[in-house]
């Protein structure tokens, strides 16, 4: 039986299985902490977006900040996806994974001139420009190279996506995008700049959004602008709807990608914009529930007010609980019979904020393996080396095969670039 919201994760014979692989076996074979991903889950996620957009010009630009491991990027490149990037480093990763530059959109509020040159040289599809000074800087860089940079303006629609304040991005008080009220003027300025070619418009209102309504509100505001721009002779080729669709961590029931995109396309068509190319930038919904973080219970420490299950994964491996108080489901890889107790699942890092889950009920013994679910997005990409902890290894299962896609770091490699003085 698959777990709700996790079509590629099954509970069978008291064990958890990813595609056909027992998670406990993966943990034993490759060691812990270990990220394990399902390639079929990623392919299915890409196919969902592509099906919804089929029959019209479109591009699914996977927001690689969610998970930028080369084999993950390779999987999406092979599925025909483009990429949403936010740094020169991400650009180099896409190219190393075999992704096409002409399918890349470059977002982010602080692109440096060096990153702009790199992206222009590579031939990215579009720069999603987030401010007026950035527009000027991009025009200057492109002109100096004898080029024109293709751009879209990221418009801040001032819509509340109803998500965690740290991951809301489409409100006036957020640092992202050009204010809706200024957009028309900024587009007119962009038209006049020598190094700029106006291509489209984009918006991205936040992350882990679980209903369609904020998307439709933002889309309406975007289409109002597209229409005013057309009235001023600026005819945009594409509309980029951003990303942000949520996944099931606990009991959320977000619309499927297909359902969400269909609703948005219906609005686009109804307002007479069906001829324009549609781009989307999903991250979490492409990879979140394709991955788990496997960890081993090192020590059990029952206490007066709390029981601690100390595991070998920590906040440096998975930041989301410590950073956003995010609730992530934790399950034993092999379910034990017997009484359950309530545990705080904590890591070895020297911070009280170093926990993966609080007040979780299960039966566990020292040495058991646990799986933190929904860890495919914003897990490995946000991992750090705090406490000089090497980052975890990663495996990708694909049918019968298990690929080791990233080796565990060694502690020595972490300080290899440092120098003693004198
Ligand atoms: C510009 C942009 N596009 C796409 C995404 C992907 O968001 P999500 O992972 O929530 O789909 C983000 C991150 O929130 C973003 O900042
Ligand atoms: N890192 C966040 C999402 C950030 C989205 C990036 N714009 C999370 O784990 O939920």
Q: Domain 2-38+288-414, CATH 2.40.37.10 — does that match?
A: yes
Pairing relation of β-strands 307-311 and 341-346? parallel
Q: What is the DSSP letter of 76?
A: H
Ligand 1, residue 107: give the atom nearest the CA.
1
Are 334 and 367 contacting, i.e. CB atoms less than 8 angstroms apart?
A: no
Q: Position of tokens 């299915």?
A: 44
DSSP-derived secondary structure for 106-171: E--TT--HHHHHHHHHHT-SEEEE-SHHHHHHHHHHHHHTT--EEEEEEEE------S-GGGB-SS
Of 81, 126, 309, 350, the catalytic one is: 350
User: Rounded to the nearest whole angstrom, what is the distance from the C-alpha of residue 336 to the centroid of ligand 1?
Assistant: 39
User: Could you tell me the maximum CA-CA distance found in the chain, to the nearest angstrom?
Assistant: 72
Q: What percent of the chain has pLDDT over 70?
A: 97
Token digits of residue 321? 């609980």
Q: Could you read off the pLDDT of 274-301 as tens digits, one per residue?
A: 999 999 999 999 999 999 999 999 999 9
Are 228 and 184 contacting, i.e. CB atoms less than 8 angstroms apart?
A: yes
The residue to mutate among 106, 110, 168, 204, having the most atoms of ligand 1 within 8 angstroms of its beta carbon, is 204
Active site residue 61: no
User: Rounded to the nearest whole angstrom, what is the distance from the C-alpha of residue 205 to the centroid of ligand 1?
Assistant: 8
Q: What is the location of CATH 2.40.37.10 in the chain?
A: 2-38+288-414
Nearest-CA residue for ligand 2 atom 1 is 378
Question: Residue 380 — pLDDT band, cuts 50, 70, 90?
Answer: very high
Token digits of residue 209? 């959004």
Q: Could you read off the pLDDT of 46-98 as tens digits, one per residue?
A: 999 999 999 999 999 999 999 999 999 999 999 999 999 999 999 999 999 99
Q: Give the pocket of ligand 2 (CB within 6 Å).
A: 65, 167, 207-208, 320, 378
Q: What pLDDT does 170 receive?
A: 60
**Known binder of ligand: residue 324?**
yes
User: Rounded to the nearest whole angstrom, what is the distance from the C-alpha of residue 20 to the centroid of ligand 2?
Assistant: 29
Token digits of residue 28? 């034993």
Pairing relation of β-strands 238-240 and 277-280? parallel
Token digits of residue 231? 């009235």
Residue 63 three-state SS: strand
Asked if the model's pLDDT at residue 123 lies above 70, the reply is yes
Ligand nearest to the CA of 242: 1
Domain spanning 107-282, CATH architecture: Alpha-Beta Barrel (3.20)
User: Rounded to the nearest whole angstrom, what is the distance from the C-alpha of residue 363 to the centroid of ligand 1?
Assistant: 37
Token digits of residue 354? 């170093």
Q: What pLDDT does 338 receive?
A: 85
Beta-carbon contacts of 25 under 8 Å, excluding residues fewer than 6 positions away, are none
Asked if the model's pLDDT at residue 206 lies above 80, the reply is yes
Average pLDDT, whole number, for the chain? 96
Asked if the model's pLDDT at residue 166 lies above 70, the reply is no
User: Is 0.95 topped by the overall pTM?
Assistant: yes
Pairing relation of β-strands 178-179 and 355-362? unpaired
Alpha-carbon distance of 85 to 291, in angstroms, equals: 21
Alpha-carbon distance of 286 to 257, in angstroms, equals: 9
Q: What is the location of CATH 3.20.20.10 in the chain?
A: 107-282
Q: Could you read off the pLDDT of 395-421 as tens digits, one per residue?
A: 999 999 999 999 999 999 999 999 999
Token digits of residue 322? 């410590």
């Amino acid at each position: 039986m698959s777990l709700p919201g996790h079509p590629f994760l099954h509970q069978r014979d008291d064990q958890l299985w990813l595609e056909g692989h027992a998670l406990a076996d993966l943990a034993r074979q490759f060691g812990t902490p270990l990220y394990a991903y399902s390639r079929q889950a990623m392919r299915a996620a890409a196919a969902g977006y592509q099906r919804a957009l089929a029959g019209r010009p479109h591009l699914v630009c996977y927001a690689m900040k969610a998970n930028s491991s080369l084999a993950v990027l390779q999987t999406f490149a092979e599925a025909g996806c483009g990429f949403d990037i936010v740094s020169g480093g991400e650009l180099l990763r896409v190219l190393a994974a075999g992704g096409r530059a002409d399918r890349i959109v470059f977002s982010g509020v602080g692109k440096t001139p060096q990153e702009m040159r790199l992206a222009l040289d590579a031939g990215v599809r579009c720069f999603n420009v987030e401010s007026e000074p950035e527009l000027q800087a991009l025009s200057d860089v492109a002109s100096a190279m004898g080029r024109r940079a293709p751009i879209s303006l990221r418009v801040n629609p001032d819509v509340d996506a109803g998500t965690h304040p740290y991951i809301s991005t489409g409100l006036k008080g957020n640092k992202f995008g050009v204010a809706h009220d200024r957009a028309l003027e900024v587009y007119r300025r962009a038209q006049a700049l020598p190094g700029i070619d106006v291509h489209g418009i984009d918006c991205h209102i936040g992350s882990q959004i679980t209903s369609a309504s904020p998307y439709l509100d933002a889309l309406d505001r975007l289409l109002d602008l597209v229409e005013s721009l057309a009235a001023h002779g600026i005819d945009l080729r594409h509309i980029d709807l951003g990303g942000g669709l949520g996944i099931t961590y606990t009991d959320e029931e977000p619309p499927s990608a297909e359902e969400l995109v269909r609703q948005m396309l219906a609005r686009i068509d109804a307002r007479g914009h069906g001829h324009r190319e549609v781009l989307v930038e999903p991250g979490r919904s492409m990879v979140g529930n394709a991955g788990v973080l496997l960890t081993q219970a090192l020590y059990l420490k029952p206490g007066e007010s709390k029981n601690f299950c100390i595991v070998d994964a920590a906040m440096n491996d998975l930041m989301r609980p410590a950073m956003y108080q995010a609730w992530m489901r934790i399950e034993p890889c092999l379910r034990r019979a017997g009484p359950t107790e309530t545990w705080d699942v904590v890591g070895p890092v020297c911070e009280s904020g170093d926990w993966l889950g609080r007040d979780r009920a299960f039966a566990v013994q020292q040495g058991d393996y646990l799986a933190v679910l929904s860890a495919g997005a914003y897990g490995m990409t946000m991992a750090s080396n705090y406490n000089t902890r090497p980052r975890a290894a990663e495996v990708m299962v694909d049918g019968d095969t298990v690929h080791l896609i990233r080796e565990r770091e060694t502690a020595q490699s972490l300080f290899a670039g440092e120098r003693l003085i004198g």
